[in-house]
């Protein structure tokens, strides 16, 4: 997502896949310095993801996972901007086909998610 809540990159995975392993694919392809901040919730709290974002010269704001022994610091004020991401998912879930995942093929579902993201941004 960009700062205005527009979809930039999307990865469709199986339902049982975890969040953190997908972070590498989501961050791939961005040039150094093009991503100012990486905001993520506790599911993405790993040292590897933090290091990857730092190599991209991005500031990291990831809420620490409650199971982490040594809690990492994060900017709580900046973390509040993550609501843009949550509002985006709320907007696209208004589309029944996306919310219930009627499409069984990943390519079809991806197309509908992109369409919902575009239409929800326009209206």
Mean pLDDT of all residues in 95-107: 91
pLDDT tens by residue, 18-62:
888 888 888 888 877 788 889 998 989 999 999 999 889 999 999
Give the DSSP letter string of 35-92: --EEEE-GGG--HHHHHHHHHTT-EEEEPPPTT-SSPPP--HHHHGGGHHHHHHHHHH
How large a percentage of the chain has pLDDT more than 70?
99
The residue ranking higher by pLDDT, 16 or 59, is 59
Mean pLDDT of the chain: 89
pLDDT of residue 123: 63
């Amino acid at each position: 997502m960009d700062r205005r809540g527009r979809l930039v990159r999307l990865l469709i995975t199986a339902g049982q896949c975890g969040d953190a392993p997908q972070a590498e694919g989501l961050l791939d392809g961005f040039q150094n310095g093009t991503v100012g901040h990486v905001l993520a919730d506790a599911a993405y709290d790993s040292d590897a993801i933090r290091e990857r974002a730092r190599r991209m010269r991005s500031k990291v704001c990831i809420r620490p996972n409650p199971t982490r022994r040594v809690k990492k610091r994060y900017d709580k004020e900046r973390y509040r901007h993550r609501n843009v991401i949550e509002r985006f998912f709320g907007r696209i879930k208004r589309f029944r086909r996306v919310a219930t995942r009627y499409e069984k093929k990943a390519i079809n579902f991806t197309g509908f998610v992109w369409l919902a993201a575009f239409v929800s941004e326009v209206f």
